[in-house]
A = this chain, B = another copy of it.
Amino acid sequence: MAHEAHEAARERAYVKAITPRSEDYSAWYTDVVLRADLADYAPVRGCIVFKPYGYAIWESIQQDLDRRFKATGVQNAYFPLLIPESIFRKEAEHIEGFAPEVPWVTHVGEEQLAERYVVRPTSETIIGTMYARWIQSYRDLPVLINQWGNVLRWEKRTSPFLRTTEFLWQEGHTAHRDEADAEARTRLMLEVYRDMAHELLAIPVVAGVKSDLEKFAGAVRTYTIEALMTDGRALQAGTSHYLGTGFAEVLGIRFLDADGQLKHVHQTSWGASTRLIGALIMVHGDDRGLVLPPRVAPIQAVVVPVGPQRERARVLEAARGVLRELQAAGVRAHLDDREEYSPGWKFNEWELRGVPLRMEIGPRDLARGEVLAARRDSGEKTGLAREGLGSAVAGLLATIQTSLFDRARRFMDENTREAANLGELKGTIDARRGFVVSGWCGNQACELRVREASGASLRCIPFDGAPSEGRTLEGGGRRCVTCAEEARHTVVFARAY
C-alpha cells in the first residue's frame, strides 16, 4: 500500500496511464496487472512476483476451492518438488508432452548428481510412484488426494498470471477401482471448478471434453471449462483428466480386487491455477482498471472520508464507526484514512484496484444519517441509511456479484456464433473472435485445418451440445466445418490464451 501510494504520488495521471482496451488489449492487461499492484516482473525468466494484493486474490480462490474439495472427501498432502529422471521418464506420452519445457537439477553445491532431477511440471509420476506403495487392496480405494504447490514449465511466450515459468496451482490425483468410479470423479471435479467459476469468480464457462489433439499428455480424456475474455479470446480455466490405467501400468499401481484378481487402478488428475487471476482481469475489467466480484475481492468495501479539513475529525470518527459496522457484518472493509491524498485521487485508485463498493462519508452524509455507496461495476451511487448499514452493504455486494455474472454471461452469449463452413468460421474469428460453434467430423486433419486457416483451436466438445448454459442450440444435422461430411460432434472453436 505505502509503496503503491508513493508510486502514484509521483504520477498524478494515474488512471490515464492505463491503455484503453480498444487501443491495445494486451497493453491494457499489463497496465492493470502492474498499476493495480497485483504483480511485478521478476528477474527470473518468465516469472512474476505475486504482490500482496494479487496474492490475496489467490488466497480467496484457494480457500474457496479447498473447502469445495474437502466437501467431496478430498484430503491435502504434499509430494516432492524434484522428480528423479528415471521416474519422470516412465510414461511415454507424458514425457513427450513435457520434456522440452522442464528444468533440470544437475548439481548440488559443487557436486554433479548421479541422477538428474526434473523440477515438477506436474506430479502424476511422483505421486503415482507413492500410490504404487500405498495401494494393495480394493479396500484402499478410492484414494482422493490434492496438493497445493508450485510447478515450473519453461513456456516460450509468457504473460503475467496467464502463462508464467513458475505458477501456483492445485493438482488433485485420485485412484479408483474402475473406470466408472474414476470417470464420475473426473466429472465431479469439473463441476467443482464450474461452480467455483460461477459462484466465486462470477465467470460463466462452457464445460466439455477436449479433442485428442488438445488433451493432457498422458490422459485418456480431458474435461475443461472454457471462459471468454472481453477481447473475444478463450481461456481454459480448469481441467479434469481421466487418466485410465496408463500411469498405473507403467508405475505398477495395482490392487487385489474382491474377485481375487490383481488389477490396475483407474486414475484422475485435475488442476486450476493462478491463471484464474488473469481470467478475472479479462472477464470483468474495464478501461478504469480491475473490477473484482465481491466474493473473491480482498477488500469488498473501502470507506473514504470526504469534506473540508475542519470537519475531518468528526467525519473520521464516523468513518471508523462505519468500518466497524461493516466488519461486524462480515464485510471485508478497509478505511482509507491517508492524509496525503485527496478523496478524488483515492476514488480513482480504488476503482483501478477493482474494489466492488466505495463508501463515501462526509458532513452532508452525516447530517442526513446516510453513507454514499458507489458501485465499481455500474458506477451507480446510492445513499444508504446509516441505520442497518451492514446488512444493506452485504445485500448490495450480493447484487453486484450477480450482476457481474449476468453481464459476463450476456457477453459470452452475444459472442457465441455459428459457422457452417471454414469461410464463415474464419470470417467470424477474424472480424469478431468469440466462440464459434460448428460441426466436426472427428478427424484431426479437419481440426488442424481450422487452426491453420483461422488461428482458432477446438476449445471443447460441450456437454449436451450446448456451448452456453441456459441456451440450447439447434441440435443435430450439422456437417463438419472443414470437410462437410456428417458431423460427429458439435464443437466450440476460439482463439485462445
Contacts and interface: CB of A to CB of B under 8 A. Distances in A.
B104 A77 contact: no
Interface residues of A, number: 63
Nearest to A10: B136
Interface stretch (A16-24, A45-53, A218-226): A45-53
Contacts of A137: 6
Interface stretch (A95-103, A442-450, A458-466, A468-476): A95-103
A6 B80 contact: no
Interface string A123-156: 0001001100111110111010100011010100
A336 B267 CA distance: 27
Nearest to A79: B49
Contacts of A43: 84, 87, 126, 129
A249 to B, nearest CB: 18
A466 to B, nearest CB: 38
A42 interface: yes
B2 A117 contact: no
Contacts of A214: none
A42 B141 contact: no
Interface string A22-50: 00000000000000000010111001011
Contacts of A329: none
A56 interface: yes
Nearest to A51: B77
A107 interface: yes
A77 B50 contact: yes
B56 A75 contact: yes
Nearest to A44: B80
Given A47-B82, A82-B152, 17 more contacts: A40-B133, A42-B130, A43-B84, A44-B83, A44-B84, A49-B79, A49-B80, A52-B75, A56-B76, A59-B76, A80-B166, A81-B119, A100-B109, A103-B107, A103-B117, A104-B108, A139-B340
B106 A101 contact: no
A78 B55 contact: yes
B6 A136 contact: yes
Contact of A82 (B103, B117, B129): B103
A101 B110 CA distance: 9
Given A40-B130, A42-B126, A106 B104 contact: yes
Contacts of A67: none
A168 interface: yes
A50 B79 CA distance: 7
Most buried by B among A78, A101, A109, A139: A78
Contacts of A84: 43-44
Most buried by B among A49, A52, A117, A149: A49
Contact of A168 (B56, B58, B78, B119): B78
Contacts of A133: 40
11 contacts: A6-B139, A6-B140, A42-B79, A43-B87, A44-B126, A50-B77, A51-B77, A52-B145, A81-B81, A103-B117, A106-B107
A68 to B, nearest CB: 16
